[in-house]
Amino acid sequence: MSCFLCNSSVGKKLVMSISGCCLVLFVLFHMSMNVTAIVSPEGYNMICEFLGANWYALVATVGLAAIVCLHLVYALVLTVDNYRARGAQRYEVTVTEKGVSWASKNMLVLGYIIVAGLALHLFNFWAKMQFTEILGEHVNSVGTSPTDGAALIAYTFSKWYYVVVYLVWFAALWYHLTHGVWSMFQTVGWANDTWYPRLKCLANIVATLVFLGFAAVVLYYFFTSGCACCR
């Protein structure tokens, strides 16, 4: 089995599909959690406390990090394999349609943008929340409690440059998901003439919900924080 997943093109794509599915589910959960910060900052902080430096949250964090690394490594391996097999020609999916070709041909570039945004996000939030709790500190580097996620969101998105960077990040994630969601089903043979339009529609719905949910939180806190454009 390990040889199949490491050496076979189908096996590598299967790993990409399964890891991608796990990441999509996490992103949907994270988006739903963040939207809570608009409806009830207190409720959001309760979730942050529940997902702080507790053993189950730490195990989940390590597992999530492993899945992200696995997805990225296999994406790089498949890209190298495709270039070796086809030269400068990018990997082409078996089902093509106008409107998805740009995303499908630039998944790796979009992946780089997403990883860069993830690194910034870890710096802005994880390092000031769960990691601060792991260190046993009760106040993070910006002077708030590590479980006061709503205050940290308000602080971060009171700055216009973070708003811009995060919106670009969300846009890259939208493009990535519009292709990635349906292609992970294609890997297991569902993207035929009947299912492809349905899966493409599902991918667009998922990607749009994720984008709108995350963007709503950023813009809400930006405008309610006084639109501090000069900070």
Q: What is the maximal distance between C-alpha atoms in the chain?
A: 56
Per the structure block, which two tokens stand in for 73? 């490594």
Residue 191: per-residue pLDDT: 62
Task: Report pLDDT for 188.
Answer: 66
How far is Cα 45 from Cα 48, in angstroms, rounded to an integer? 5
Kindly list the domain boundaries of the chain, sorted by start residue. Answer: 17-224
pLDDT for the residue 128? 95
The Cα angle at residue 44 between residues 47 and 149, in degrees rounded to 5: 95
pLDDT at 108: 77
17-224, which class in CATH? mainly alpha
Residue 125: DSSP 8-state = I
Contacts 24+ apart (CB under 8 A), 100-103: 100/178, 100/179, 100/200, 102/175, 103/175, 103/176, 103/178, 103/179
Q: What secondary structure does DSSP assign to 181-210, as a single string?
A: HHHHHHHTT--STTHHHHHHHHHHHHHHHH
Assigned token pair, 54: 């507790």
Tokens of 94: 């078996």
Whether the predicted model's global pTM rises above the 0.75 cut: yes
pLDDT of residue 99: 45
Inter-residue contact 205 to 178 (CB < 8 Å): no
Position 94 scores a pLDDT of 45
Q: How far apart are the first and last CA of the chain?
A: 54
Q: Show pLDDT as tens, one digit a residue, over the chain (231 residues).
A: 556 566 677 778 888 889 999 999 999 999 999 999 999 999 999 999 999 989 999 999 999 999 999 999 988 888 887 777 765 444 444 444 444 456 667 777 888 899 999 999 999 999 999 999 999 999 999 999 999 999 999 999 999 999 999 999 999 999 999 988 888 887 766 666 777 788 888 999 999 999 999 999 999 999 997 654 444
